[in-house]
């Protein structure tokens, strides 16, 4: 039976196991030790409907000219601190590229790394820090115009599905106001990546540096807004680092207006100027009654044009098309720079690094993938319509390896909502909050734009080919 003629097939069904895809994240050794083994699959609710590949075959309703990303803007950012209690810095800073003058052999990765940094640190509401960052940095953000809020993992998994890449994943889909949230779902919030090897974590720890004002940071998360088809999307992703030279060239005026003086950025001054806000303790919907998030103001604005993604590989893989494999992920997050570093037994020579401006590559990939991107737009519309038509406004999306179908299932009773009640109310009220508590951490001037264009075409690019290329993680885990 077709549901509403939209290509989603209603089903009755059975429970089946599944787990979601991997993501990247730094080790988290000091505040709690993550589990070291695969956890059992979470139970599944009853089957509501299916989306088959054949349901996406007719893309005539999607204008091929609109099957691309447009109007991309950076809207917010935050850092996770490596502290016992969940703590974020807004707007935070990504780590800066600080290559070694004299390369030495690095220690091979030996830590435990979370698949989902946000869920591991705040399992009740993994999307809460992102939404808090948006509303604090942009009090008048037009939430009523946003169709989708997701992340690199959820959007990336849907993209992989329409491209025929067979990988298991699960995600929660829920309507908040008129916005549909896509939230990744692991077997455990603290599930770790299995079989980590290589230098994908030790390299960024050595070759990038956190600014003094954000010392103790473990992860830099960014949020961008763009149009895909006719859908207005907000996407959260983790940034590996940034190039200081590009930040200075691209965003001097914005950075000056948003800057917090790092030389005088002490805890006492932050408390005096901005204050610390503790969120979550009194929310009746909290899944963990004593869980809270502490929000602090620290860092400064870094433009998207300066952000890079990195990967490390053995020199033996130098002839592989590593960039080509990463373009879909870079496209979802609209990251313009790619740093690829090759090593010989753990030694990264500068001449074996490449720093690539990938804007043209992304544009060409987008053109080449036009038909698949039309399928992605169609799929997103089907899921958005299905969620909005549901009385509960929520369901779980499941894809099992080897099965070219997406299962839409009921959400089990013990699964928390996408956002706590108080934050949902702020989102549905167009992001406006007149209370003193939520006006403390917006370092901005009256004439500053609410969010900045990525503005990739402005400013000159320096030639970094002499000092290396994009590197990142071991490549075993994806985001």
Please tell me what DSSP assigns to residue 70: E
Residue at 158 is within a domain: yes
Q: Which residues contact 3 (CB under 8 A, 6 or more apart)?
A: 9, 10, 49, 386
Q: Which residues contact 253 (CB under 8 A, 6 or more apart)?
A: none
Which tokens hold the place of 203? 């390299």
Burial of residue 201, with CB atoms counted within 10 A of its CB: 0-12 exposed, 13-18 middle, 19 or more buried: buried
Binned at pLDDT 50, 70 and 90, residue 347 comes out as: very high
Please, which residues bridge with residue 239 across strands? 220
Domain that holds residue 183: 2-305+370-429
Q: Is the pLDDT of residue 119 over 70?
A: yes
pLDDT per position as a tens digit, 245-288: 999 876 554 444 444 333 333 333 333 333 455 554 334 343 33
Distance (Å, rounded) from C-alpha 429 to C-alpha 459? 38
Mean of the pLDDT values across residues 17-37?
A: 41
Residue at 353 is within a domain: no
3-class state of residue 452 by DSSP: strand
Tell me what pLDDT residue 200 has. Answer: 74
Tell me what pLDDT residue 413 has. Answer: 86
Q: Is the pLDDT of residue 60 over 60?
A: yes
Distance (Å, rounded) from C-alpha 450 to C-alpha 215? 27
Domain count, the chain: 1
Highest mean pLDDT among 129-138, 254-263, 445-454: 129-138
Beta-sheet pairing, 2-3 with 8-10: antiparallel
Beta-sheet pairing, 47-52 with 8-10: antiparallel
Of residues 112 and 129, more confidence is placed in 129
Distance (Å, rounded) from C-alpha 173 to C-alpha 180? 7
Residue at 435 is within a domain: no
3-class state of residue 423 by DSSP: helix
Burial of residue 356, with CB atoms counted within 10 A of its CB: 0-12 exposed, 13-18 middle, 19 or more buried: middle
The phi-psi region of residue 452 (left if phi > 0; otherwise alpha if psi is between -120 and 50; otherwise beta) is beta
Residue at 14 is within a domain: yes
pLDDT per position as a tens digit, 63-73: 989 999 999 99
Residue at 59 is within a domain: yes
């Amino acid at each position: 039976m077709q549901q509403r003629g939209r290509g989603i097939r209603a089903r009755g069904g059975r429970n089946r196991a599944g787990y979601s895809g991997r993501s990247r994240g730094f080790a988290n050794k000091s505040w709690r030790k993550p589990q070291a083994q695969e956890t059992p699959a979470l139970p599944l609710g009853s089957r509501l409907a299916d989306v088959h590949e054949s349901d996406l075959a007719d893309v005539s309703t999607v204008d091929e000219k609109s099957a691309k990303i447009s109007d991309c803007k950076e809207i917010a950012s935050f850092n996770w601190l490596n502290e016992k209690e969940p703590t974020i810095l807004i707007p935070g800073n990504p780590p800066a590229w600080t290559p070694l003058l004299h390369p030495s052999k690095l220690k091979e990765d030996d830590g435990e790394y979370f698949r989902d940094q946000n869920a591991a640190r705040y399992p009740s509401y993994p999307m809460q820090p992102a939404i808090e960052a948006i509303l604090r940095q942009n009090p008048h953000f037009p939430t009523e115009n946003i169709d989708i809020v997701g992340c690199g993992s959820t959007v990336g998994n849907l993209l992989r599905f329409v491209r025929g890449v067979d990988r298991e994943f699960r995600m929660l889909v829920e309507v908040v106001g008129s916005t549909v949230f896509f939230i990744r779902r692991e077997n455990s919030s603290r599930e770790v990546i299995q079989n980590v090897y290589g230098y994908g974590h030790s390299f960024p720890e050595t070759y990038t540096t956190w600014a003094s004002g954000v010392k103790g940071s473990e992860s830099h998360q960014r949020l961008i807004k763009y149009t895909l088809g006719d859908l207005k999307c907000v996407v959260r992703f983790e940034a590996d680092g940034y190039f200081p030279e590009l930040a200075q060239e691209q965003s001097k005026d914005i950075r000056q207006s948003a800057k917090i003086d790092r030389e005088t950025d002490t805890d006492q001054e932050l408390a005096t100027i901005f204050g610390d806000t503790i969120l979550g303790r009194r929310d009746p919907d909290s899944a963990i009654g004593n869980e809270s998030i502490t929000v602090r103001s620290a860092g400064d604005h870094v433009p998207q044009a300066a952000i890079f993604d990195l990967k490390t590989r053995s020199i033996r893989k130098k002839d592989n098309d590593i960039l080509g494999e990463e373009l879909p992920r870079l496209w979802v997050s609209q990251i313009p720079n790619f740093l690829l570093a090759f090593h010989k037994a753990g030694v990264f020579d500068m001449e074996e690094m490449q720093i690539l401006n990938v804007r043209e590559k992304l544009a060409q990939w987008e053109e080449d993938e036009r038909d698949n991107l039309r399928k992605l737009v169609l799929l997103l519309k089907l899921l958005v319509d299905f969620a909005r038509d549901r009385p509960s406004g929520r369901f779980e999306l499941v894809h099992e390896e080897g099965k070219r179908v997406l299962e839409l299932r009921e959400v089990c009773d013990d699964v928390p909502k996408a956002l706590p009640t108080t934050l949902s109310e702020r989102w549905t009220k167009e992001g406006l909050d007149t209370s003193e508590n939520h006006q403390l951490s917006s370092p901005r001037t009256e004439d500053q734009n609410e969010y900045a264009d990525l503005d990739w075409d402005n400013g000159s690019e320096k030639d970094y080919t002499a000092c290396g290329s994009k590197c990142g993680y071991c490549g075993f885990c994806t985001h």
